[in-house]
Amino acid sequence: EAAEEALLEKLFAWAEPYRRLGVRANADTPLDAQRARAFGAQGIGLCRTEHMFFQEERLPWVRRLILAKTPEEEEEALEKLFAFQKDDFKAILRAMDGLPVTVRLMDPPLHEFLPPLAELEARAKEGDQEALALLERAKALHEVNPMLGFRGVRLLLLRPAIFRMQLKALLEAAQELKEEGLDPRPEVMVPLVADPKEVERARALAEELFQAYGPIPFGTMIETPRAALLAGEIAPLVDFFSFGTNDLTQMAFGLSRDDAGKFLPRYVEEGLFPFDPTERLDEKGVGRLLRLAAEEGRRANPRLKLGLCGEHGGEAGSVQAVAGLLDYTSASPFRILTARLAAAQAGLRALRAQPASS
């Protein structure tokens, strides 16, 4: 085994100089951040903050926040969640000291956080006052199709207190680590944008806090077809784009990322799709949107950084497809090695394709 490990090290030592594409990790716990770092991740490309709210002691506060009826109720929940968030961010930034950490603000499909309506109704019927109080609000927020609903930037802009709470927790976490002599490199990113106006509004909210704490890189996910098409208008408003191929694939194909497994294998077997587009980047459709957005984005903002953070970001073929176009990919910790090798292979191929004189 030791011999195999030595071989692997040799392989990477040989391959790495050919790699041009950065490789970051999708991670939202300090443990995942440490793991990713051990696998050679050059930062975190996607920290999904909504994952931080599922823990047992936090979920009731998230529910209270979402269903809050008064500013006081909202304020109390925000204060609790702020404390949790700041600790989370400190631990992650510490694990990734000196490397960029892209924190994506909340993108919860609300149904993941709200109690099921049926449960509330049953409790209300039995006279449970709390359930009764929540029922009306929960009904108003209930969505038939939450993945296409009140998610991401939409929630953040209509409930800006959540935006402020999260960003302030991030900026304070970084500030405290700096006081300890560390080198935290936080970046903030908004999800599910479909219009430049949303980015403009989000940026204005962020700037309020940047005035107090100093600025950090501000970016947006490009994960709706409309955002990809409007990349030239969005790019001047941000420092970076990160392509979310999970949602972009879902929306480009009209293919639910949660349910497609029920028919897709059969569909692919029948030759009706050439392959499963949820497993690797579809170069003709989603890939074309991605290329268009990357090129128009860079034209409109030459300093724009470009990353990819959907599940495709750790799949070898997809990594190779974007290696010449983007600055970095982001993959789950256990796919970091695959992504590094695939990116190195793409670099080697690009070098070989160049005429000898250059």
Contact residues toward ligand PEP (CB under 6 A) are 46, 48, 107, 223, 244-247, 309-310
Q: How far is the CB of 56 from Mg ion (least distance, A)?
A: 25
Question: Quick check: is 309 catalytic?
Answer: yes
Q: Is 287 among the residues that bind Mg ion (CB under 5 A)?
A: no
Give least dist CB 28 to ligand PEP, A.
Answer: 10
Distance between CA 325 and CA 322 in Å, rounded?
5
Phi, psi dihedral angles at 247 (to 5 degrees)? -75, -35
> Min. distance of Cβ 193 from Mg ion in angstroms?
11
> What x/- string results for residues 204 through 243 when contact with Mg ion is judged by CB under 5 A?
-------------------x--------------------
Residue nearest Mg ion by beta-carbon distance: 247
Rounded to the nearest 10 degrees, the angle between the axes of helix 71-95 and helix 30-38 is 20
- With contacts defined by CB under 5 A, how many residues of the chain interact with Mg ion? 3
Can you say which residues are annotated as belonging to the binding site for substrate?
A: 48, 104, 223, 244-247
Residue 166 contacts residue 205 (beta carbons within 8 Å): no
Window contacting Mg ion (CB under 5 A); options: 79-87, 142-150, 233-241, 247-255: 247-255
> Number of C-alpha atoms within 13 angstroms, CB side, residue 320?
12
Asked whether position 247 contacts Mg ion by CB under 5 A, the answer is yes
Max CA pair span of the chain: 82
Q: What gap in Å lies between CA 169 and CA 88, rounded to an integer?
A: 9
Confirm or reject binding of residue 244 to Mg ion (CB under 5 A).
Answer: yes
Residue 244 CB, nearest approach to ligand PEP (Å)? 3
Q: Return d(Cα 246, Cα 166) in angstroms, integer.
A: 24
Among residues 66, 199, 238, 309, the one annotated as catalytic is 309
Rounded Cα distance between 233 and 297, Å, is: 8
DSSP strand pairing (100-104 vs 44-48): parallel
List residues near Mg ion by CB under 5 A. 223, 244, 247
Catalytic center residues: 309
